[in-house]
Amino acid sequence: MKRIALLGMPNTGKSTLFNRISGASARVGNWPGITVDLMSAKILMGGHIAELIDLPGIYDLHGFSDDEQVVRHFLAHNTVDLVIVLLNSTQIDRQLSLLLQIKKLNLPTVLTLNMADEAKRVGITVDTENLEKELQMPVIQISAKYGDGLPKALQAAASVIHQHKTAPTPETIYHALQEDSQIEREMESLIQHNVQIPVMLNDNTTDKIDQVLLHKWLGLPLFFIAMYAMFDFIFTAGKPLQEGIAWLLDLVRTSTLEPLLSSSPAWLSGLLLDGIYNGLATVAAFVPIIILFFLVMSMIEDSGYLSRAAFLMDALMARMGLDGRGFVMMLMGFGCNVPALMGTRVMRSRAMRLLTMLVIPFSLCSARLQVFIFMIAALFTAEHAPLVLFTLYVMSFLTMFITAILFQGQYQNTEPFILELPPYRFPTPRQIVLRGWQEVKHFLNRASKFIVIGVVLVWLMTNFPTNAAPASVDTYAGQIGLLFAPILDPIGINRELSIALIFGFVAKEIVVGSLAVIYGLQGDALMAHMTTQIDWVQAMSFMLFTLIYTPCLSTIATLRNESKSTGFMWLSIAWSLGLAWVVSFVFYQGARALGF
């Protein structure tokens, strides 16, 4: 099977093109460094099946960061039959050097000048015919986002793929890198002959928006206002949807499932209804909020505002031993910590990478969001709800900052960070829907896997041994709760909540589901029952603990893989558990001392 690789600098639209050609849904975003690992898909090219590979962006064939290593390692260990090089047409004067390096590898190559739409808007014209002659390869202007020029590019690719050239050896690669000064000269001449760039790029919109959003005094306040507005929107718009679904699922239970199972043995209907159905239904009710959350996230990611956030926060982050990129990873962690941890591969300095990875697990991910929305809905009034949620986001940032400040001495960074501000871009509806759907699938996949296993275990633990009253101290769950009581009592966490926390260590998606199983209730009834069991101080303490202690096993595994250090993984676990306990303790005892 023929193998086709997509190569180009970061943020040039490789993943967008990959999705277009293959129908896959690789993650796309207006931020350099979205793709940090290989992704492949089968496509049809010239009547044959070929493997198309999306790679991380590289500035240079001899880069040192981990994502650039991924590319070099791939090129050195795989035969590639065709390279499709993507350049951002609006930056062709800077990006052509990469093509010239790749050309030295002597592989069949097609050059696609992407973002033709933007180039046209700013008035850049390229003489592709002449460039083709000088480079001796097909050169096609395309717009991966809107699809212009794609058929032509694919045709060119199909015609070139059968050219037999010798695969590059490590020596060729090495050699290709030794001729940089020559490449500079060659590039200058190519640009001079074939590209016309107006003296003044007429892209005023981005500049105008930036004058406000990057304003010296207004920039940061605007950023925080935008964040608050976003969470307020998700909460206010999502809440009625969640309640509606919860009501519907409850109706299904009482009107259909209960009569259906009325003649089956008590243990079976208990396991099916109080265990699996309650657990799944309680979590399913949160799907609309998760969808809303990711729709908003994907719009922000694609707009280019992340780079502005990095710019705004860079100076502040530097004082904590991090940089603007670290801040963006924290924001990405709001979706899920795992890709955020992998995103640190773009950092060259290992010290900075480790410090950032120590910080990311405190980022309030969507799985934790779901626990908080549940708890807040149960124990706080509608007026207080958005404020409580916002406080948790602030706490998330604070714990990240505290961690960075305390550990920056151990992880000294020396790498300077150069930030590129891409133009603002509107995601197409197709991109939003694709991304949203991808995230929802991911969420459902995790949720269903963990929840079914989790709730069955919780149900067994709260119902066995058989001679104990369900959910009493004598059950296995009760015994475990008792075991942890000396640690969790001082922070106001009762036996039932302890069990939820223990299971939450595996994945936060289980927490709400296991509460449903432990109390044997779901939806409104569960929430109403919660208010008779705990007060808001305990709920807040529980949420703080949930926020700060280890997010999930996947995060731990990723920490281990990315750092390649078991010691580092344990450090992260121990530190987050310790910090969680201390923060909850201070809050709980403080609130009680104040008479709440």
Ligand X SMILES: Nc1nc2c(ncn2[C@@H]2O[C@H](COP(=O)(O)OP(=O)(O)OP(=O)(O)O)[C@@H](O)[C@H]2O)c(=O)[nH]1
**What would the 3-class secondary structure string for 523-562 be?**
HHHHHHHHHHHCCHHHHHHHHHHHHHCCCCHHHHHHHHHH
SS3 content of the chain, % helix, strand, coil (to 5): 65, 5, 25
Other CB atoms closer than 10 Å to residue 472's CB: what's the count? 11
Residue 236 or 428: the one with the smaller Cβ distance to ligand X is 428
3-state DSSP call for residue 426?
coil
Asked if 288 interacts with ligand X (CB under 6 A), we say no
85: enclosing H helix or E strand: strand 82-88
**Interface mask (CB under 6 A) for ligand X, residues 295-334, using x and -?**
-------x--------------------------------
Least separation in angstroms between residue 26's CB and ligand X is 7
Q: Quote the tokens at residue 572.
A: 């992260």
Q: How far apart are CA 513 and CA 279, in angstroms?
A: 4
Which residue among 25, 30, 366, 399 contacts ligand X (CB under 6 A)? 30
Interface of this chain with Mg ion, residues 19 to 48, rule: CB under 5 A = 34-35
Residue from 34, 8, 559, 18 nearest 306 by CA? 34
Least separation in angstroms between residue 26's CB and Mg ion is 6
Residue 34 or 400: the one with the smaller Cβ distance to ligand X is 34
Asked if 15 interacts with Mg ion (CB under 5 A), we say yes
Residue 13 or 108: the one with the smaller Cβ distance to ligand X is 13
Stretch that binds ligand X, among 6-14, 240-248, 253-261, 438-446 (CB under 6 A): 6-14
Report the partner that residue 425 touches, choosing among Mg ion, ligand X, none (CB closer than 5 to 8 A by kind): ligand X
Stretch that binds ligand X, among 93-101, 141-149, 456-464, 483-491 (CB under 6 A): 141-149
Environment class of 550 (CB within 10 Å of its CB; exposed 0-12, middle 13-18, buried 19+): buried
Residue recorded with tokens 């908080």: 372
Least separation in angstroms between residue 141's CB and ligand X is 10
Which residue among 28, 140, 352, 378 contacts ligand X (CB under 6 A)? 28
Report the partner that residue 232 touches, choosing among ligand X, Mg ion, none (CB closer than 5 to 8 A by kind): none
Q: What type of residue is 205?
A: T
Residue 23 or 595: the one with the smaller Cβ distance to Mg ion is 23
Stretch that binds ligand X, among 9-17, 97-105, 126-134, 237-245 (CB under 6 A): 9-17
Report the partner that residue 93 touches, choosing among ligand X, Mg ion, none (CB closer than 5 to 8 A by kind): none
Q: Give yes or no for a cis peptide into 422 (omega within 30° of 0).
A: no
Sheet containing 2-8, strands listed edge to edge, beginning at the edge strand earlier in sequence: 39-45, 48-54, 2-8, 82-88, 109-114, 139-141
3-state DSSP call for residue 443?
helix
Give Cα separations from 114 to 88, 119, 141 (angstroms): 5, 9, 6
Q: What residues does 4 pair with on adjacent strands? A: 52, 82
Stretch that binds ligand X, among 30-38, 235-243, 290-298, 528-536 (CB under 6 A): 30-38
Asked if 298 interacts with Mg ion (CB under 5 A), we say no
Which residue among 53, 75, 84, 144 contacts ligand X (CB under 6 A)? 144
**Interface mask (CB under 6 A) for ligand X, residues 104-133, using x and -?**
----------xx-xx---------------
Asked if 56 interacts with ligand X (CB under 6 A), we say yes
Which residue among 34, 161, 357, 507 contacts ligand X (CB under 6 A)? 34
Residue from 467, 525, 528, 526 nearest 500 by CA? 526
How many Å separate Cα 195 from the centre of its chain? Answer: 37
For Mg ion, the binding residues (CB under 5 A) are 14-15, 34-35
For ligand X, the binding residues (CB under 6 A) are 8, 10-16, 28-30, 32-35, 56-57, 114-115, 117-118, 143-145, 302, 425
